[in-house]
């Protein structure tokens, strides 16, 4: 499968008083055509910074792309000028954000916000754009789309606003949609609606999706492949079956174990991951997860592990997968 | 069976928004919490669960109804007596960033309750108690002189827990204590709450929107919708055998972190959105989104009745 | 942790490298960054702002000179010397003399004392009346707020100059009359700022937490709410103080303020008006210092606002 997006050795830092926060420390992953890839990780893992860097939405300074390439449809996005990026954003890559309250402009009618992109990127006439805009609103499941078209964002509820955001993001049929925690601010029953809309859209337009989330339930429901990030690095990637049924990194295992499940027996204790993520102003010398890992070995504090390829699709970054670790364990 | 520690009777809280508009945040709640038990309270935003918690602690004055703590109706108590009761009932808040005064050190945050109730004789005694509490919640006592913004979200939430424990309460309302935290941290806080319950014999009202976590921590679970309680049952029973159509939809909407379950799941996706609590539907509050609603539901308000021993539901067809 | 040569370790991996060390729960919670209070953080930010620090330095120098200036000169501010009137600056009279032969250097710094005294008085009035009045409005809200707010609006609608002139009908013009006039109306702006701030802060969860522990109104107001409103309060002060200083100078210039022989920058400029073409230094020194003080206050206040509330800074 030809990937439409390849992120290669991406490193992003933030300049703050007192030093440099190394938010993304060498990230590699790719997204295939029509594929839904989840990036999971906790706050500070670098997942949102990675997504926003792909869109080039973080102001620089304070952020600096230290190294790496973002190859989208054969072009390196890190080398594009701001002007060139403007032509790509909205047209080839769409984005939805966590907070549907603040990501719509409150002073502009919803319809205008949808047609703006259509007129700008696809050279449609105002009338054609309006027709397509209303069509989009219908597709994302907004009732009375014709009259809703002329309303302002505050007249929509949170879930409806998120539908509008999806309509805007997909209006120009981008080949990639980046969704940054699109359902985190919504209630579960509304979340279920929004996830359905996203799945429908993906099927209809064949859009590739990068879904940034911390909710492994949403991942299991929506995505084909999973990228697990921790402390600015990708610690494990694989298909969702590999990640959920055969996790190879202690962090992934810990995440899965620390979540309660509805089918779990009562009084079964959760197994938390202890401690807090490292401060990336001074990243640890060895593995970033070492200080919280109950399987940590001496080597883990000394040297950061390399990638171990476990299958065509499954890789993990952990010293436990080194042949010698197995030997020591069994002896 | 142990005795009831908290008895809530007909509790309502309405906010007057002016111009004749009244927001009925909570209407006619009736339930008990037994000593040493954890009652979970779930519902979506705007269902009144946080207002209910705050009204029980009299952070909001109730519009109607009574809250009995060990038999005493605290809604009728005057200032001085109420202050004494506040030692027995504490609260843990949702937002670990907003719930700690940014200008206080950790010692002062935790020590404040000791000052208010004159529970520390000397500065040394106060310091010792604060360090003891920090240790109890698994924080390094050396960090007592630091400020809240230096801690991570999970650590701040522990500071909030230590503050609540300072006065040796019997009853704690945990108002969405983990929803602002990362997954890997949530389990830490939940385990801590469970440990403390075992060690100190605490009674909890655990308010949350995360149903799987509520099921995990609670003995019984109450489901709220639009200011009303629609179902109440033992947690195992509620999850295995939900009777109210809203509870059924809520349970099916939770994405489970298991692709196999997700692949085979038939999800009930509710239509529409939560009606406004200023202008709630007539009859059953859920009828506008309910897949099985009939004419009767628009006319009659279903009462919360015992449909099975210990299992209450407010639905004509439960 | 000891430094290790990564390359060496990787090239010569030994079984002992793979010994399990597990995890230390206490160690995992240690905070590494240096402890920093919110105030220290603001101070660090302020220190890195060169403009603001220049403003602060100028203000400190003016304060020092107001204290020691009159002492280091052999002259005093009131003695006439009719043989040495209107002298230009010289080794004997550093800033020259005025039309009565009084030493301008000493008079300038005496004027600074008056200005600073007015500034301090305005600040105290702002803090004691404005902050408390605003705090009570914001904290209690409802009817208390409505009545107190109406009262302050009525006071605010009376022009400051009118208040002063009305006061002068009953009282002698003096420094204290000016301070009284400031006391009547000067705190209103502050009270509105504090009111708005407290209304926002009182819904914060830490305030609820304190209430749920049984804290009374006084504790909530003075321990939680007002300290957290300190940023806007200080910024407002940096605007009130130069305003008050300027008002005093202006009223003294009109002859409604301090009376001879006491020197104020305003009255000195007024005195200098008659011969400013011939004796420009008589106007230049007080005018320069009043401008310098205003400027210093403004740039310092600006920097302070940025330092206390980084959100405002783009």
Q: What is the pLDDT of residues B232-279, one digit of tens each?
A: 999 999 999 999 999 999 988 888 888 888 888 888 888 877 888 888
Interatomic CA distance for residues A318 and A329, integer angstroms:
15
The region of weakest confidence among A257-266, B215-224, C293-302 is: A257-266
Residue C250 in domain: yes
Could you tell me if C311 lies within 8 Å of chain B, comparing CB atoms?
Answer: no
Summary mean pLDDT of chain B: 91
CB distance from B195 to chain C under 8 Å?
Answer: no
Residue B220: half-sphere exposure toward Cβ, Cα within 13 Å: 18
Confidence band of B1 (pLDDT split at 50, 70, 90):
low
Distance CA A276, CA A289 (A): 10
B302: in domain:
yes
* pLDDT reported for residue C145: 93
Strands B203-208 and A308-309: unpaired
What's the whole-model pTM score? 0.85
Residues 6+ apart with CB under 8 A from A259: A216, A270, B183, B186, B187, B212, B257
pLDDT of residue B104 exceeding 60, the answer is yes
The residue in chain B having the minimum alpha-carbon distance to the alpha carbon of residue A217 is: B257
pLDDT category at C313 given cuts 50, 70, 90 is very low
Which of A100, A156, A191, A192 to probe the B interface (max B CBs under 10 A)?
A192
Of C25, C208, C230, the CB nearest to B59: C208
Q: Please indicate, yes or no, if residue B270 is contained in any of the structural domains.
A: yes
Chain A positions touching B250 (Cβ under 8 A) are 188-189
Please indicate, yes or no, if residue B49 is contained in any of the structural domains: yes
Chain C residue with the nearest C-alpha to that of A327: C15
* Among B264, B253, B247, B250, CA closest to B318: B247
Mean pLDDT of the region C207-227: 90
Predicted confidence at residue B79, as pLDDT, reads 83
Average model confidence (pLDDT) across chain C: 84
pLDDT above 60 for B90: yes
C-alpha–C-alpha distance, residues B200 and B198, integer Å: 6
Query: What 3-state DSSP class applies to C7?
Result: helix
What is the DSSP pairing of strand B89-92 with strand A63-72? unpaired
Chain C closest-CA separation from residue A208 CA (Å): 35
Whether residue C46 lies inside any domain: the answer is: yes
Length of chain B (residues)? 318
C308 to A164, B187, C221, C303: CA distances (angstroms): 38, 36, 20, 9
Task: Using an 8 Å CB-CB cutoff, list chain A residues near B262.
Answer: 217, 220-221
Contact A188 B44 (CB under 8 A): yes
Reported as a pLDDT band with limits 50, 70 and 90, residue B18 is confident
Q: Is C29 within a domain?
A: no
Residues C247-264: tens digit of each pLDDT: 888 888 888 878 777 888
Q: Is there a contact between C31 and B103 if contact means CB atoms under 8 Å apart?
A: no
Q: How far apart are CA B298 and CA B280, in angstroms?
A: 11
| pLDDT-flagged residues of chain A (< 70) | 1, 265-267, 330-331
Taking 50 as the threshold, does the pLDDT of residue C1 lie above it? Answer: no
> Which pLDDT belongs to residue A172?
85
Output the CA–CA distances (angstroms, integers) from residue B35 to B6, B137, B205, in the order listed: 8, 22, 11
From the list C4, C18, C23, the residue facing A291 with the nearest CB is C23
Mean pLDDT confidence for B184-205: 93
Tally of domains in chain B:
1
pLDDT exceeds cutoff 70 at C312: no
Joined tokens for residue B317 = 């067809």
User: Residue B127 falls within a domain, yes or no?
Assistant: no
Q: Which one of C10, C23, C45 has the shortest CB-CB distance to A296?
A: C23
Restricting to C residues 82-141, those with a Cβ less than 8 Å away from any Cβ of B are none
The C-alpha of C207 sits at a distance from chain A's nearest C-alpha, in angstroms, of 25
Per the domain annotation, does C28 fall within a domain?
Answer: no
Nearest CA in chain C to A303: C6
Q: If you average pLDDT over residues C51-70, what whole number do you get?
A: 92
- Which residue of chain B has the CA closest to C204? B98
pLDDT of A331 reads: 63
Contact A54, A39 (CB under 8 A): no
What is the CATH code of the structural domain delimited by A3-92+174-329?
Answer: 3.40.50.300
**Residue C5 belongs to a domain:** no
- pLDDT tens per residue across span C140-192: 988 999 999 999 999 888 887 788 888 877 888 888 888 888 888 889 999 99
Yes or no, beta carbons of B257 and A260 under 8 Å apart: no
> Which CATH number is C139's domain given?
1.10.3720.10
Give B220→chain C minimum CA distance, Å.
25
State whether A266 and B236 contact (CB < 8 Å). yes
Range of the domain at C245: 39-69+95-312
Q: B188, A274 in Cβ contact below 8 A? A: yes
Q: What percent of chain B has pLDDT over 90?
A: 64
Q: Where are the alpha helices (DSSP H) in C12-103?
A: 38-47, 50-72
- Interatomic CA distance for residues C84 and C297, integer angstroms: 36
Confidence of residue C27 (pLDDT cuts 50, 70, 90): low
- What was the pLDDT predicted at A273? 87
Domain boundaries, chain A: 3-92+174-329, 101-173
Predicted pLDDT at C314: 31
Q: Return the partners of chain C (3 or more C-beta pairs < 8 Å).
A: A, B
The CATH number of residue B224's host domain is 3.40.50.300
Instruction: Please determine, for residue C31, whether its predicted confidence score (pLDDT) is greater than 60.
Output: yes
The reported pLDDT for the residue numbered B64 is 94
pLDDT of residue C195: 95
Question: Per the CB < 8 Å rule, is A299 touching C18?
Answer: yes
Using one digit for the tens of pLDDT, what is the confidence trace for B137-165?
989 888 888 888 888 888 999 999 999 99
Can you read off the two tokens belonging to residue C94?
């550093």
Q: Which candidate from B152, B186, B273 shows the least CB-CB separation from A190?
A: B273
Tokens of C180: 């009284």
Q: Which chains touch B (3 or more CB pairs under 8 A)?
A: A, C
Whether residue A62 is preceded by a cis peptide bond, meaning omega within 30 degrees of 0, is: yes
Q: Using CB atoms within 10 Å of the CB of residue A106, give its burial: 0 to 12 exposed, 13 to 18 middle, 19+ buried.
A: exposed
Most confident of the following: A196-205, B126-135, B209-218: B126-135
C-chain residue closest to A59, CA distance: C314
Closest approach of A266 to chain B, Cα-based (Å):
7
pLDDT value of residue B29: 94
pLDDT of residue A210: 94
pLDDT over 70 for what percent of chain C?
93
- Nearest-neighbour CA in chain B from A58: distance (Å): 23
């Amino acid at each position: 499968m030809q990937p439409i997006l390849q992120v290669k050795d991406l490193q992003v830092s933030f300049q703050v008083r007192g030093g440099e926060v190394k938010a993304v420390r060498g990230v590699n992953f790719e997204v295939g055509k029509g594929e839904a890839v989840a990036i999971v990780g906790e706050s500070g893992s670098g997942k949102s910074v990675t997504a926003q860097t792909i869109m080039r939405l973080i102001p620089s300074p304070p952020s600096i792309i230290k190294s790496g390439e973002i190859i989208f449809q054969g072009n390196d996005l890190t080398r594009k000028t701001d002007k060139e990026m403007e032509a790509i954003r909205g047209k080839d890559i769409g984005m939805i954000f966590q907070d549907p309250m603040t990501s719509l402009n409150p002073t502009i009618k919803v319809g205008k916000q949808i047609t703006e992109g259509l007129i700008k990127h696809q050279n449609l006439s105002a009338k054609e754009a309006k027709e397509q805009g209303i069509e989009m609103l219908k597709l994302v499941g907004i009732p009375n789309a014709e009259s809703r078209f002329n309303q302002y964002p505050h007249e929509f509820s949170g879930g409806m606003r998120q539908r509008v955001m999806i309509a805007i993001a997909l209006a120009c049929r981008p080949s990639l949609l980046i969704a940054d925690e699109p359902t985190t601010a919504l209630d579960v029953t509304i979340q279920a609606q929004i996830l359905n809309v996203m799945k429908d859209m993906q099927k209809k337009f064949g859009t590739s999706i990068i879904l940034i989330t911390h909710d492994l339930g949403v991942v299991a429901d929506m995505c084909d492949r999973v990228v697990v990030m921790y402390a600015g690095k990708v610690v494990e990637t694989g298909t969702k079956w590999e990640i959920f049924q055969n996790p190879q990194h202690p962090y992934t295992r810990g995440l899965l174990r620390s979540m309660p499940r509805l089918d779990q027996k009562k009084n079964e204790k959760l197994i938390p991951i202890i401690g807090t993520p490292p401060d990336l102003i001074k990243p640890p010398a060895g593995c970033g997860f070492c200080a919280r890992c109950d399987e940590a070995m001496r080597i883990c504090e000394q040297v950061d592990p390399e990638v171990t390829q476990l299958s065509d699709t499954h890789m993990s970054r952990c010293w436990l997968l080194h042949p010698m670790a197995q030997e020591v364990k069994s002896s | 069976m142990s005795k009831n520690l908290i008895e809530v009777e007909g509790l309502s809280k309405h906010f007057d928004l002016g111009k004749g508009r009244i927001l009925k945040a909570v209407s006619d709640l009736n339930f008990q919490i037994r000593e040493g038990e954890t009652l979970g309270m779930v519902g979506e935003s705007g269902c009144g669960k946080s207002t209910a918690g705050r009204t029980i602690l009299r952070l909001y004055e109730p519009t109607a109804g009574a809250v009995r703590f060990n038999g005493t109706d605290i809604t009728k108590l005057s200032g001085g007596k109420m202050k004494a009761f506040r030692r027995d009932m504490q609260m843990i808040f949702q937002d670990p960033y907003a719930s700690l005064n940014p200008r206080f050190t950790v010692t002062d945050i935790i020590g404040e309750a000791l000052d208010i109730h004159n529970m520390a004789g000397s500065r040394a005694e106060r310091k010792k108690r604060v360090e003891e509490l920090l240790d109890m919640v698994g924080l390094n006592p050396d960090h007592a002189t630091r400020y809240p913004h230096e801690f991570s979200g999970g650590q701040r939430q522990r500071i909030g827990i230590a503050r609540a424990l300072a006065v040796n309460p019997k009853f704690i309302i945990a108002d969405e204590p983990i929803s602002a935290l990362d997954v890997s941290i949530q389990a830490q806080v939940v385990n801590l709450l469970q440990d403390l319950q075992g060690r100190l014999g605490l009674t909890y009202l655990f308010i949350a929107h995360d149903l799987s976590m509520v099921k995990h921590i609670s003995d019984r679970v109450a489901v709220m919708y639009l200011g009303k309680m629609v179902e109440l049952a033992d947690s195992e029973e509620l999850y295995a055998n939900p009777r109210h159509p809203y509870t059924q939809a809520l349970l099916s909407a939770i994405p489970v972190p298991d692709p196999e379950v997700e692949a085979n799941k038939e999800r009930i996706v509710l239509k529409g959105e939560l009606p406004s609590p200023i202008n709630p539907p007539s009859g059953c509050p859920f009828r506008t989104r309910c897949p099985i609603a009939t004419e009767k539901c628009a006319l009659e308000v279903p009462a919360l009745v015992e449909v099975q021993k210990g299992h209450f539901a407010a639905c004509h067809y439960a | 942790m000891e430094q290790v040569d990564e390359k060496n370790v990787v090239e010569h991996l030994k079984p002992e490298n793979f010994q399990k060390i597990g995890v230390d729960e206490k160690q995992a919670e240690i905070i590494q960054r240096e402890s920093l209070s919110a105030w220290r953080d603001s101070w660090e930010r302020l220190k890195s702002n060169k403009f603001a620090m220049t403003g602060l330095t100028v203000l400190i120098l003016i304060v020092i000179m107001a204290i020691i200036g009159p002492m280091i000169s052999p002259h005093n501010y009131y003695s006439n010397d009719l043989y040495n009137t209107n002298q230009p600056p010289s080794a004997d009279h550093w800033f020259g003399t005025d039309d009565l032969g009084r030493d301008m250097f000493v008079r300038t710094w005496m004027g600074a004392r008056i200005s600073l005294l007015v500034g301090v008085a305005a600040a105290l009035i702002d803090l004691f009346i404005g902050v408390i009045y605003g705090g009570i409005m914001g904290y209690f809200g409802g009817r208390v707020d409505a009545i107190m707010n109406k009262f302050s609006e009525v006071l605010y609608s009376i022009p400051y100059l009118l208040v002063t002139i009305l006061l002068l009908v009953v009282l002698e013009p003096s420094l204290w009359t000016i301070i009284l006039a400031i006391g009547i109306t000067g705190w209103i702006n502050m009270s509105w700022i504090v009111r708005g701030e407290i209304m926002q802060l009182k819904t914060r969860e830490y305030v609820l937490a304190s209430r749920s522990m049984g804290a009374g109104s006084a504790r909530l107001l003075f321990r939680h709410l007002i300290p957290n409103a300190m940023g806007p309060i200080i910024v407002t002060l940096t605007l009130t103080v130069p305003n008050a200083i300027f008002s005093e100078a202006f009223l003294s210039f009109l002859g409604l303020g301090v009376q001879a022989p006491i020197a104020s920058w305003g009255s000195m400029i007024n005195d200098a008006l008659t011969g400013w073409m011939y004796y420009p230094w008589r106007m230049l020194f007080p005018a320069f210092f009043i401008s310098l003080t205003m400027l210093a206050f403004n740039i310092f206040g600006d920097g302070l606002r940025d330092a206390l509330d980084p959100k405002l800074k783009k």
